[in-house]
Amino acid sequence: KAGVTQTPRYLIKTRGQQVTLSCSPISGHRSVSWYQQTPGQGLQFLFEYFSETQRNKGNFPGRFSGRQFSNSRSEMNVSTLELGDSALYLCASSLEAGGFNEQFFGPGTRLTVL
């Protein structure tokens, strides 16, 4: 079975721009969660989607948004980029929602904001 894939792997943007990251979950997994990983803050939960619905949301500003498609693929968007948005963005897929099942992580997208 193919693992979780994320595209692109690396991205460089400037302040004020917006960015869209993509995540393809493991086949059969309906839940996709997104995390931001930074050296100072560790792994921070952004949001979780299940069956095209946002099920849970972390403490991030409204500039961070996401969606999920009928094939369970998910995208997250960050608008009006700030320097502090530079981070590794990880997505994880699981069979069910709620954080009670094993989550399989992708390799991440490294976003650098200049």
Partner 1 sequence: GENVEQHPSTLSVQEGDSAVIKCTYSDSASNYFPWYKQELGKGPQLIIDIRSNVGEKKDQRIAVTLNKTAKHFSLHITETQPEDSAVYFCAATLGNKLTFGGGTRVLVKP
The nearest distance, CB 79 to partner 1, in angstroms, is 23
Strand partners, 46: none
Cα-Cα-Cα-Cα dihedral of 90, 26, 7, 39, to 10°? 10
Our CB check for partner 1 shows the closer of 8 and 16 to be: 8
Does 86 bind partner 1 (CB under 8 A)? Our answer is no
Residue 58 neighbours by CB under 8 Å, 6+ apart? 44, 45, 46, 47
Residue 109 neighbours by CB under 8 Å, 6+ apart? 6, 7, 8, 9, 10, 11, 21, 88, 89
Among residues 58, 65, 79, 95, the one that binds partner 1 under rule CB under 8 A: 58
Our CB check for partner 1 shows the closer of 45 and 95 to be: 45
Our CB check for partner 1 shows the closer of 79 and 88 to be: 88
Give the residues lining the site for partner 1 (CB under 8 A). Answer: 4, 33, 35, 42-43, 45, 48, 55-56, 58, 90, 92, 97-108
